[in-house]
Amino acid sequence: MNYTLIPKQLRPIAEKIEAGTRISENDALNLYRSDDLNALGMMANVVRERKNGNFATYIHNRYINYSNICVLSCQFCAFAAKKRDAHAFEHAASEIVQVVAEALPLGITEVHMVGGLHPTLKKEWYLDLLRDLRALDPKLHIKAFTAIEVRHLAQRIFKISIPDTLAVLRENGLGSITGGGAEIFDAGVRDKICRGKETAEEWLDVHRTWHRMGGRSTCTMLYGHIETLEQRVDHLRQLRELQDETGGFSGFVPFAFEPQTTILAHIKRASAIEQLRNLAVSRIYLDNIGHLTAYWVSTGLPLAQVALSYGADDLHGTIIEEKIFHMAGATTPQQQTIAALEHAIREAGRVPVQRDSSYRHLNGANGSTSSESRTRAELACA
């Protein structure tokens, strides 16, 4: 690292990063407070390249939102609806299976499915859907349900414990759980933006339980609303601590809050600078999580390209149809082609690689040789 390009007050942190020493919460706060974005990018890039080399991954996936009907009314959420609302929707399980069946010939490897906390869908609806999706193609990875959905299913629908709920979901086809719903862990923030949602401890406990069962999941942070920088660092601390305990998080996906059509519309959306700063600090602080995603649905593809030099090594996926961010006012496209993602990655000076749901590089992707593929797989498991 070229220390002359790092501001004097950040050099002790840069030395820790170069030595592979863990930074403290206070260090993370100092990084968040820095205006020197280039220095943050340089430091984040050291961690990024140590973990993932010059590769940048994407997944070929299909998003499904089975319903937006939800018993909660989180203030930041423009997606949810009550049954009586004009924008409420609920897809029949057969429709969902049909949509996924149509996406399979495109080569998708994952279906990513989340919804609201639906008050009346029955246990068999969920289990039949998982089984029918798995029957389409046993190799298709089903990534579904946030921690709050898992808790909702356990307590209100299945009426069994969380471990038993996760076990029955897995028996019927669930491959991994999604990282959504973490928002910001601070109890005061949650009370203001998502009253009634699960607590930080409850979110962490669902993931801990899943990890102890041998499952993997991603983790997230919704930032850029009412939280302070200290509360962001505290959120990252809790993720890093659980990862120390279980090692079950495969990647971290931060999202900037989309205020436009929510009741928090007076909040100014996080700037490009803030999004890059947040990615860089996350990459440096979360030293035990292998992958960091620049979620193009949130950042836009041009900024996601830049993010590949600010700590990110993954652009998420082709998606095909996204509702949650777009109902909140996101103006990004609904989908990206593989060609567009690979072009964006190459333009950023990185090597594009298609990955699976565990961030493993797919053999032979992009004409790679077997030894290149092996190197990629080793890096992906870092």
> Rule CB under 6 A: which residues touch ligand SF4?
70, 72-74, 77, 79-80, 116-117, 148, 194, 197
Q: Smallest Cα–Cα separation from 357: which of 322, 314, 324? A: 314
* Single-letter amino acid, residue 151: R
CB of 18 to ligand SF4, least distance (A): 40
Lookup result for tokens 């996406």: 103
β-bridge partners, 81: 69
85-226-196 Cα angle (round to 5)? 50
Query: Measured from the CB atom, is 142 or 148 closer to ligand SF4?
Result: 148
Residue 30 to residue 8: CA distance in whole angstroms: 12
CB of 157: closest distance to ligand SF4 in angstroms?
Answer: 14
Structure tokens at 76: 């930041």
What are 339-347's contacts with CB under 8 Å, separation 24+? 340/301, 341/58, 341/301, 341/315, 342/58, 342/366, 344/301, 344/304, 344/305, 344/315, 345/56, 345/58, 345/305, 345/308, 345/315, 347/305
CB of 74 to ligand SF4, least distance (A): 3
Q: Which CB sits closer to ligand SF4, 195 or 374?
A: 195
| C-alpha 40: how far from chain center | 22
**Residue 96 C-beta: closest distance to ligand SF4, Å:** 17
Give the residue from 303, 335, 306 showing the smallest Cα distance to 319.
335
In angstroms, give the least distance from the CB of 197 to ligand SF4: 6
276 or 324, CB closer to ligand SF4? 324
Min dist. Cβ of residue 71 to ligand SF4 (A): 7
Nearest to ligand SF4 of 77, 140 (CB atom): 77
Question: Rounded to the nearest whole angstrom, what is the least distance from the CB of residue 184 to ligand SF4 in the complex?
Answer: 13
Quick one: 32 or 145, whose CB is closer to ligand SF4?
145
- On whether the CB atoms of residues 167 and 213 are closer than 8 A, the answer is yes
Nearest to 150 by CA among 115, 105, 183: 115
| Cα-based distances in Å from 316 to 61, 336, 349, 365 | 9, 10, 18, 16
Pick 148 or 380: Cβ nearer ligand SF4: 148
Nearer to ligand SF4 by Cβ, of 73 and 261: the residue is 73
